[in-house]
Structure formats: C-alpha cells, structure tokens
C-alpha cells in the first residue's frame, strides 16, 4: 500500500504538464491575440470548437494520450516520427484549404486563402497536434495487445477517442447550418 501511495505521489503531477502545455498552445495563445484584436470577424469565443474543443476537450485528449504513451513507452514508433509530422502538416494544410474553399472566414482567415497572424499560429499548432495524434494512433495500433492488456492504457485510449468524438460534435455544431 505504501508503495502505491508513493508511486501516486511521485507521478501525480505528470499529467499536469501536457494539460498546461496543451491549453496554452491550443487555447491560451488565442486569448493573447483576442486582447489585441481590432477586427470584426468572429473570434475563438464565437465557436464551441474553439472554447470547448481547444480549451477543454483537446487538452483532456492530450492528457489521456500522454498517460497511454507513458504506459506503452517501449512501443512508441519514434523512427516514424518524420512521417507523422509530414502527415500532420498535410492534414492541417488540407483543413485550411477546405476552410478557404467553403468560405468559412473568421479572425484566423479573414478572407479565403489569407491567414492572419492567429491563423498562421493556429496552423502550426494544429499540425503539431495532429502529428502527435498520428503518433498516438500508430502506437495504439502497433501495440494493440499490450494496450488492451493494460487497463490504464486502454482506458486512456478510450477517453481520448471520446474526447475526439466530442470535439467533432463541436465542429459540426459550429459549421453545419
């Protein structure tokens, strides 16, 4: 029992790191841009996906995936990281092309195909987030048996999918009229 309590005390703060970094990069930076914004386009605070998605759901997903990766650390396919980064960049770029094509303009893209400063920053944050999620998914697929045998990793994986599904719902609510 004492060993369990000691282990919990030693590692209890670890999920705080990805939560804080995620919140700062996915949502916190938008506050800084917001206080300096003088335009008339909708900002992050006009979107469920911005406030709840970037501010709550994705940081929760990142904590869950961090816990999963910690449990499966020997299985992480680091040698394929450049592939996941390339996929993340391509996916983020495709998302921004779709935003422009559908004329979904806001403060990050005030006119189609023209990114503002917040839009440029969001592109790189989005690419990094998606690259990370590709790494997580590859780890889960490549070590499926180990993950399903480890209750912490398995629950963390399930929580991350729930968070991503809810993020998808916020996007749908924001953009399907």
d(CA 124, CA 91): 11
| Domain assignment of residue 140, yes or no | yes
Q: DSSP string of 79-132? A: GGHHHHHHHHHHHHHHHHHHHHHTT--BTTBSBTTB--HHHHHHHHHHHHHHHH
Q: Domain limits at 30?
A: 17-175
| Domain assignment of residue 4, yes or no | no
Per DSSP, the three-state class of 68 is helix
d(CA 136, CA 62): 10
| Domain assignment of residue 109, yes or no | yes
Q: Please choose, from the candidates 175, 170, 148, the residue with its C-alpha nearest in 3D space to the C-alpha of residue 55.
A: 170
| Domain assignment of residue 29, yes or no | yes
Q: Which residues 6+ apart lie within 8 Å of 159 measured at CB?
A: 60, 61, 64
| Domain assignment of residue 32, yes or no | yes
Per-residue pLDDT of the chain (177 residues; tens, 9 = 90+): 444 445 445 566 677 788 888 889 888 889 888 998 888 899 999 999 999 999 999 999 999 999 999 999 988 999 999 999 999 999 999 999 999 999 999 999 999 999 999 999 999 999 999 999 999 999 999 999 999 999 999 999 999 999 999 999 999 999 886
pTM over 0.85: yes
Two tokens, residue 131: 């690259």
Q: Are the CB atoms for 153 and 147 separated by under 8 Å?
A: yes
H or E, element range at 67: helix 58-71
Per DSSP, the three-state class of 143 is coil
| Domain assignment of residue 144, yes or no | yes
Q: What are phi and psi of 105, to 5 degrees?
A: -90, 145
| Domain assignment of residue 7, yes or no | no
Count of domains observed in the chain: 1
| Domain assignment of residue 1, yes or no | no
């Amino acid at each position: 029992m004492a060993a369990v309590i000691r282990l919990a005390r030693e590692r209890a703060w670890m999920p705080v790191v990805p939560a804080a970094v995620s919140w700062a990069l996915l949502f916190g930076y938008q506050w800084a841009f917001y206080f300096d914004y003088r335009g008339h386009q909708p900002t992050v605070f006009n979107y469920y996906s911005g406030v709840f998605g970037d501010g709550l759901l994705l940081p929760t997903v990142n904590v869950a995936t961090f816990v999963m990766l910690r449990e499966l650390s020997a299985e992480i396919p680091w040698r394929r990281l450049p592939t996941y980064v390339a996929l993340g960049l391509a996916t983020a770029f495709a998302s921004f092309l779709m935003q422009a094509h559908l004329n979904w303009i806001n403060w990050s893209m005030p006119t189609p195909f023209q990114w503002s400063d917040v839009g440029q920053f969001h592109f790189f944050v989005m690419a990094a987030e998606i690259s990370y999620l590709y790494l997580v998914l590859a780890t889960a697929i490549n070590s499926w048996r180990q993950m399903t045998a480890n209750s912490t990793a398995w629950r963390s994986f399930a929580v991350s999918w729930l968070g991503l599904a809810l993020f998808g719902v916020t996007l749908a609510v924001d953009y399907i009229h």
